[in-house]
Amino acid sequence: MQSDKNSPSAETPPGLKIEPAGDVLTFTLDNPADGNRVTGTMLDAMLNLLRSEATHPSARVLIIRATGDVFCTGRERAGRDVASIRQESARILEFKRALRTTSLISIAAVQGDAMGFGFGLAIICDFVVVAQHTSLGFPEMRSGLAPAAIMSYLGDYTLPRFAFPMILFGDPIDPQRALQIGLISQVTTTERLNYDVNSLVERILKLDPTAARKCKEFFNVAAQNSFEQNCRLATEVLTIGSLSVLAREK
């Protein structure tokens, strides 16, 4: 990986490290004493960086990782009235929307348990590399809360027959089960986690930057469109992409 060539645009809040290093941007959850729960200020900081990347791209890969024994066991619930709870909920969904649609290729490096918001955060990344022996799940219903945020997109990653019982009962699953039903990309050992993530980063950085961004953009759009819409869009994407290839050949 390359050395730092840029720095965070704003002061980083407690519990979070933002580390830009050339083409790689890393968000590290760093509050292991509290299960690496994500606070509102942490969400704001990460969201601001994603918005900045959308308008002024400076990196190509985003890694989300954590310190300590767990990846993330949830998020802060600070709202105490209708207005504050609504604002808090909207911020969560705006962050996840920005993460899903960013042109950065995102990788979650899950070294420990990921629960609730933490598991949902990992799932929405393009690649999810998980250490074996971790526990994954959505326990919110055990506290009487239907986790609507994760339900808004969980069906895009796994079948309803798998997703609904996991949400309804809150039973944790192991990484092999998560891999089997399509929620994660790879199971590895704790010792190999960083190596496997770094190897993935190297493969991504070998790709043409413009082509990689267009690939992710079209993939996300195609997942939401009809076949007819995708055929029309694909004609334009293929035309522009082919012209770029011809230009490079010259």
Per-residue pLDDT of the chain (250 residues; tens, 9 = 90+): 443 444 444 579 999 999 999 999 999 999 999 999 999 999 999 999 999 999 999 999 999 999 999 999 998 887 778 888 888 888 999 999 999 999 999 999 999 999 999 999 999 999 999 999 999 999 999 999 899 999 999 999 999 999 999 999 999 999 999 999 999 999 999 999 999 999 999 999 999 999 999 999 988 888 877 777 767 666 676 677 666 666 777 6
Contact call for residues 73 and 37 (beta carbons, < 8 A)? yes
Q: Residues near 92 by Cβ (< 8 Å), separated by ≥ 6? A: 43, 75, 117, 149
DSSP character for 225? S
Q: What is the C-alpha to C-alpha distance for residues 175 and 180, in angstroms, rounded to an integer?
A: 8
3-state secondary structure of 203: helix
DSSP character for 53? H
Q: Which amino acid is at 52?
A: S
Name the residue ranges covered by the structural domains of the chain.
16-205, 209-249
Assign a CATH topology to domain 16-205: 2-enoyl-CoA Hydratase; Chain A, domain 1 (3.90.226)
Tokens coding 18: 């933002």
Q: Which amino acid is at 33?
A: A
Q: Which residue has the tokens 């069906």?
A: 155
Q: What is the C-alpha to C-alpha distance for residues 17 and 35, in angstroms, rounded to an integer?
A: 15
